[in-house]
Structure 1
Amino acid sequence: MADDRPILMFDSGVGGLSVLAPTRALLPQASFVYVADNGGFPYGIRSEAEIAARVPALLGRLVERHRPRLVVIACNTASTIALTAVRAALDLPVVGTVPAIKPAAALSKSRAIGVLGTDATVRQPYVDDLSARFASDCLVIRHGSARLVELAEAKLRGEATDPADYAEVLAGLLGQPGGERIDTVVLACTHFPLVEEELARAAPRPLRFVDGGPGIARRVAHLTEGQDWPAESKGEFVFTAPAEAGDALRTELAARGLGTLSTL
């Protein structure tokens, strides 16, 4: 029997598209509702209290409207701050996003890894815990960048971005004491894989970049194993506040299976 319930993916902006891609690859039969909270964007510079209050309330409204089978918080900042509260408030599976420190530590040869995220993410005690549990023998260096979020959003809108901006972000990470040892960088914001190629070109030496998208996709596939799916998969992109989506963004979204745009 066909089951039309979608998978709901939530982020402050377009960053969660880096999670949608591997999830759609594993579950091509699924329907998706992708929500960009442009009304609260950017999360990375907001206080923990703001995010902790906003995200559970907003997801409650979205779940009531779209009746998904599962929610993915495709945002590191929102997950590290509000995941527990969201799970307590919603009576359905909720998958969060955490910095991919464990796989990065497994890959690092130099035993020095960088964590590149938003300011709100890199200062969270959760990152301390992940580092202690999975990278205790590694030097873990963090750097927060709101600018890189803006660059990823601009790229998806079809705007040109300056290579010097990416070099400056990397310098903030690699220029710290011990940064010369880093061989693996955790992209601890879902926006950042969208500009991984630009980061690689701007890097002063070869670096390995790791993100949590594939792991999240596997988790979603596991949680939905054995479920029925729609007769026809659909995709909808939802803004939480009025927004003007240009042709370039519409094209990018359509290419990712999100041909319908709406506002909450």
Structure 2
Amino acid sequence: MTREEAGTGDARPILFFDSGIGGLSVVAPVRASLPSAPIVYAADSAGFPYGTRSEGEIAARVPALLGRLVERYRPRIVVIACNTASTIALAHVRAALDVPVVGTVPAIRPAAAISVTRVIGVLGTEATVRQPYVDDLAARFAADCTVLRHGSAALVEMAEATLAGEAPPPDRVGAELHGLLGQPGGDRIDVVVNACTHFPLLGDALAAVAPAGMRFVD
């Protein structure tokens, strides 16, 4: 589907799906690029947070929920705006639905492309960072890099709290980033992958506690 096809002449919505508000970080650039496209945003608040659930739960839950949402809204395309759901359930969803499905997966390839030190960090949920999908991305696109990972449920909760106007405490944000930078070799990380769609919502807070010159990609 081209940009022109997505933005004109089709009243069917683009359906975005996440466990919470993280997917709004994906909706925003789509809205800027396709301002006339109708959008439906669905958050699985009853299942939140996905990052602490088992692979089996997510692999069963996400296709079932999206099946009902597609039946109700008849979207032109589905965007799983969640790294955890995408790395676990993307293939299951594509097999179950007869509409195009776009996943959101950790941006290891662009991170490796810009890293100078050849040490990159992957900051995601606990479920995302342990996935074989991430192993495959690292092997394919960052084979000459050291890829360190850290899973943080606390950052997800802090991102959700921003919707209620709560500023993320710098000490707590710093402690979660230290979970990555404090690993052996972590002091050489020059690029961090925000491998959760919630984390760009904390972009300023993460940048404020990060070492000078560190870059974040998503």
CA offsets 1:107-152 (integer angstroms, 9 cap, x no match): 1011110000000000001111100100011110000000000010
After the TM superposition, which residues 107-256 of structure 1 pair with which residues of structure 2 at under 5 Å, given as runs? 107-211=114-218
Contact 2:168–2:205 (Cα < 8 Å) also in 1: no
* Residue 2 (structure 1) shift: 4.2
Structure 1: gaps spanning 5 or more residues: 212-264
CA offsets 1:70-116 (integer angstroms, 9 cap, x no match): 00000000001100010001001000011000000001011110000
Contact 1:184–1:209 (Cα < 8 Å) also in 2: yes
Contact 2:22–2:159 (Cα < 8 Å) also in 1: yes
SS at match of 1:161: coil
With the length of structure 1 as denominator, give the TM-score of the two structures.
Answer: 0.79
Does residue 27 of structure 1 match 2:34?
A: yes
- Matched length: 211
Percent of residue pairs bearing the same amino acid type = 73
User: Which residue in the other structure is 1:220 paired with?
Assistant: none
User: Which residue in the other structure is 2:5 paired with?
Assistant: none
Does residue 94 of structure 1 match 2:94?
A: no
With the length of structure 2 as denominator, give the TM-score of the two structures.
Answer: 0.95
CA offsets 1:223-260 (integer angstroms, 9 cap, x no match): xxxxxxxxxxxxxxxxxxxxxxxxxxxxxxxxxxxxxx
User: Which residue in the other structure is 1:106 paired with?
Assistant: 113
* Residue 25 (structure 1) shift: 1.5
Which residue identity is paired with 1:143? H
* Residue 159 (structure 1) shift: 1.4
Does residue 75 of structure 1 match 2:90?
A: no
User: Which residue in the other structure is 1:238 paired with?
Assistant: none
Instruction: Work out the CA distance in 2 between the residues paired with 1:15 and 1:129.
Output: 24
SS at match of 2:93: helix
CA offsets 1:15-40 (integer angstroms, 9 cap, x no match): 00111111112111101000011010
Structure 2: gaps spanning 5 or more residues: 1-7
Structure 1 residue runs of 4 or more that deviate by more than 2 Å after TM superposition: none
* Residue 203 (structure 1) shift: 1.4
Which residue identity is paired with 2:206? L
* Residue 204 (structure 1) shift: 3.4
